[in-house]
Amino acid sequence: MEKSNISYSEAMAQIEAILNKLQSADCDIESLAENVKRASELIELCRTRLRKAESDVEKLFEQ
């Protein structure tokens, strides 16, 4: 996954699209594992970005 090339907003949009696809009647079993893996990667990316933002804000308050 191209971690540095995707924004938090883009990652969230992709997660929502995957979730919608998984919830639809058109979801095929062949792509299930691939979609779940991609969503997992995107969730981790978002968590990492949120942790960094939290750390940056905490540093600002420490100054």
pLDDT in tens, 51-61: 999 999 999 99
pLDDT tier for residue 1 given thresholds of 50, 70 and 90:
very low
d(CA 23, CA 44) in angstroms, rounded, equals 21
pTM for the full predicted model = 0.81
Query: Is the separation of the CB atoms in 45 and 1 below 8 Å?
Result: yes
Burial class (CB in 10 A: 0-12, 13-18, 19+), 18: buried
Q: What is the pLDDT of residues 21-55, one digit of tens each?
A: 988 877 788 889 999 999 999 999 999 999 999 99
Q: Please state the domain extents for the chain.
A: 3-62
